[in-house]
Amino acid sequence: MTPTITAFEQSPDRGRGLARDMPVRWALEEVGQPYAVRLVSFSEMKQPAHRTLQPFGQIPTYEEDGLALFETGAIILHIAERHGGLLPGDDNARARAIAWMFAAKSTVEPVIVEREAAMLLECDKGWYEERLPILDDRVRVRLRDLSARLGDSDWLDGEFSAGDLLMVSALRRPAASAIVKEFPNLAAFVARGEARPAFKRAFDAQYAVFAAVSNA
Ligand SMILES: N[C@@H](CCC(=O)N[C@@H](CS)C(=O)NCC(=O)O)C(=O)O
């Protein structure tokens, strides 16, 4: 059965491929699984029908054969477990790739999202200018450690995996991009992810939604 994911009807990112349906689309493209997209408005996302799928009233969601999932990481793990190409076959390597998925979502992305939230929601506060360097430093500490671990490797642990997919997705967030540039190996890591044909297909598909709304 073709899975259906949800995405913003009108994405605030204006076609930059930042909304979190993007990593799910990317994962589906990597494994060659066709999918359908149901676009939802901001008000629909907060209605009970959508909250049944996503308790926090957010996108993305994933529905397939009686299964409804939320949380990007869980959705991608599900996709990766059912198809080849996103997790290694060797059990230990697979466990390590899953550890990188968690690292992306629970160690790296939160500090980036915290900076993003400050930029969006706190920029009119008197203490904003004072707080921003503190948030930048929190991102920098994580990226410094990540950069040290990545070293000269193409990917975080051997072949490209769902861990890389989620880490590249976190580093693509605008709140991280200036700091990513301080670490040339991380900038190259992101560029390698974005150069993957599956990434490009996912990006184009998400961009098409933005373009259709803009031209309407
Ligand atoms: N932890 C969730 C976060 C989902 C999330 O933040 N979604 C954003 C779009 S990228 C959203 O729906 N924002 C609208 C809102 O929270 O009202 C995941 O990774 O799936």
Per DSSP, what are the bridge partners of residue 41?
none
For residue 84, report the phi and psi dihedrals to the nearest 5 degrees.
-80, 160
C-beta separation of 189 from 150 below 8 A: yes
Alpha-helical (H) ranges within the chain are 21-31, 42-45, 48-53, 72-82, 91-102, 109-121, 128-150, 162-171, 174-180, 184-194, 197-215
CA of 71 to the centre of ligand 1 (A): 8
H/E element holding 37? Answer: strand 36-40
CA of 90 to the centre of ligand 1 (A): 32
H/E element holding 63? Answer: strand 61-64
Is there an atom of ligand 1 within 6 Å of 9 CB?
no
Which pLDDT does position 143 carry in this prediction? 98
206 Cα distance to chain centroid: 13
Residue 88 has pLDDT above 80, yes or no: yes
Tell me the per-residue pLDDT of 144-189, one tens digit each, with 9 for 90 and over: 999 999 999 999 999 999 999 999 999 999 999 999 999 999 999 9
Tell me the per-residue pLDDT of 124-138, one tens digit each, with 9 for 90 and over: 999 999 999 999 999
Residue 215 has pLDDT above 90, yes or no: no
Tell me the per-residue pLDDT of 3-57, one tens digit each, with 9 for 90 and over: 999 999 998 888 899 999 999 999 999 999 999 999 999 999 999 999 999 999 9
- Closest CA relative to residue 75, chosen from 92, 91, 90, 59: 59
Residue 107 has pLDDT above 90, yes or no: yes
Taking the whole predicted model, whether its pTM rises above 0.95 is answered as yes
Is there an atom of ligand 1 within 6 Å of 72 CB?
yes
Which pLDDT does position 213 carry in this prediction? 85
- The best mutation among 13, 47, 58 to test binding of ligand 1, ranked by most ligand atoms within 8 Å of the C-beta, falls on 58
Residue 70 has pLDDT above 90, yes or no: yes
Cα Dmax for the chain: 53
Is there an atom of ligand 1 within 6 Å of 20 CB?
yes
Residue 122 has pLDDT above 80, yes or no: yes
**What is the three-class DSSP state of 144?**
helix
